[in-house]
Structure 1
Amino acid sequence: MSAASEINNVLLVNSSINGKLGNSNILSHEFVTRLKGKAKTQVNLVSRDLSQDALPHLTQAEMGAWMTPANERTDGQSQLADISDSLVAELQNTDTLVIGMPMYNFGIPSTFKAWIDRIARAGITFKYTEQGPVGLLEGKKAIIVAARGGMYQGTPKDSQTQYLKDVLAFIGITDVQFIYAEGLAMPAKEENILGAKQAMDVVLESLI
């Protein structure tokens, strides 16, 4: 949190193909609404919907634009570099990252992977040292609201949890908490959603 200004800058990232009707979107928005209602400091919210404003797959041309000094870029390279630069700046200015994460075919949405590919930048959000990579976005918190049709938490089929922990730690975000809403395609959907909302209260207590 920005101690000097006592402002919590929150970035909400969603990627459900169902948009506002997606379970991960609904629950992540509810979490943020609760956070704003309970917080003792001002909450500034920035929302990014990766399904509505989808990012294309990363290309060599775009990566090459990053690696070209700003004063040597062509107009086309500047436009390509601006995509990642703006996303990185958005994340750098964030205190609390909230991710609404649906599960598609045992993995993360491809649009979210395209976002990761642009915010993981050598020399900007992480650096290589003799001891290995070191994340540069320290002091931030991340809350993952994971919505799944089946029951996967704690099983080998949950490919998301470890991946998200690893990739966020790679850029320096190691304070990561998960809220699971599972079995949403099963008869006990409402009961499972209630359980997820109760888990929200526990996470909120740790944030406030």
Structure 2
Amino acid sequence: MNNNKHFKIYKPYGYLSQFVNNGQKQKSKRLLGELYDFPSGSMSIGRLDEKSEGLLLITTDGKISNYICSRGIEKEYYVQVDGSITDEAILALQNGVEIGFDGKKYMTNPCKAFKIKSVPNFPERSKKIRDDRHGPTSWISITLQEGKFRQVRKMTSAVGFPTLRLIRVRIGSIYLNQMGIGEIIEIDTPTITSH
């Protein structure tokens, strides 16, 4: 009998995508275990860095974790960037941009990217984002099938529009929908299709 447990959560800003502190520098860091009493053996599928928010899947089943990480499953992010993003910048993101990764130059794969016309309705973040008095901001959607460390942030910087807020809204066919920050929902075995 399969007793594995699976959850989808809205990871808040300021949390690491892990359950144990594995470094001296991380003593004061906030971990996922503070949000809920997850079963032992829980692991996050993929990661969101400390400053990123949104959909994170947690499972006690290593096979599911490996499947999602190795199959090029789409991950969609809504990104608030500094400035009024141009069509040229969107095109560059779609075609792939050069970023630094592991001390080397890396060309990102072509991806889906578009400007979001109206401001998405997300809960307010715990740490304030600068407001429009300091100049315009834009929201864009970026969908990747790869996931290098801090890739989305590096991509928007590479086209001249640094990321202010980053929220993952979809992993394959699983959506964040209207979840609140820090909300946790237990789900059946995730059937992840690419979309």
Normalised by the length of structure 1, the TM-score is: 0.27
Q: Which has the higher contact order (CA 8 A, sep 6+)?
A: 2
Bigger share in helix? 1
TM-score of the aligned structures, taking structure 2 as reference length: 0.28
Which has the larger strand fraction? 2
Select the structure of larger CA radius of gyration: 1
